[in-house]
A and B are shown apart, each in its own frame.
Chain A
Amino acid sequence: MKFAILVNEGPFNHQAVDTAYQFARAALARGHEVLRVFFYYDGVHNAHRHSAPQADERNIVTRWSKLAEEHSVDLAVCVAAGLRRGVTEAVIAPGFRITGLGQLIEAGIDADRTMVFGD
Chain B
Amino acid sequence: MNEQDTDGTVTKRFMVVNRKAPHGTVYALEVLEMVLISAMFDQDVHVAFLDDGVWQLRRGQMPGVLEMKDFSKTYRALEGYGVEKIYVEGESLAERGLSEQDLVIPVEVIARADMARLMDGMDVVLTA
Partners in one complex: yes
B12 partner residues in chain A, CB cutoff 8 A:
108-109
> In whole Å, how far is B8's beta carbon from the nearest beta carbon of chain A?
12
The size of the chain A interface, using a CB distance under 8 A, is: 19
Query: CA of A114 to CA of B12 in the docked complex: distance in angstroms?
Result: 12
Tell me which residues across on chain A come within 8 A of B125, comparing CB atoms.
114, 116
Q: Give chain A residues whose Cβ lies under 8 Å from the Cβ of B126.
A: 6, 104, 108, 114, 116
A81 at interface (Cβ–Cβ under 8 A)? yes
Q: Which residues of A are found within 8 Å of B7, using beta-carbon distances?
A: none
**B120 within 8 Å of A by Cβ?**
no
Whole-angstrom distance between the Cβ of B123 and the nearest chain A Cβ:
8
Binding site for B on A (CB under 8 A): 6, 8, 40-42, 80-81, 100-102, 104-106, 108-109, 114, 116, 118-119
Q: What residues make up the interface of B, taking CB atoms closer than 8 Å to A?
A: 10, 12, 14, 20, 26-27, 30, 33-34, 37-38, 40-41, 43, 123-128
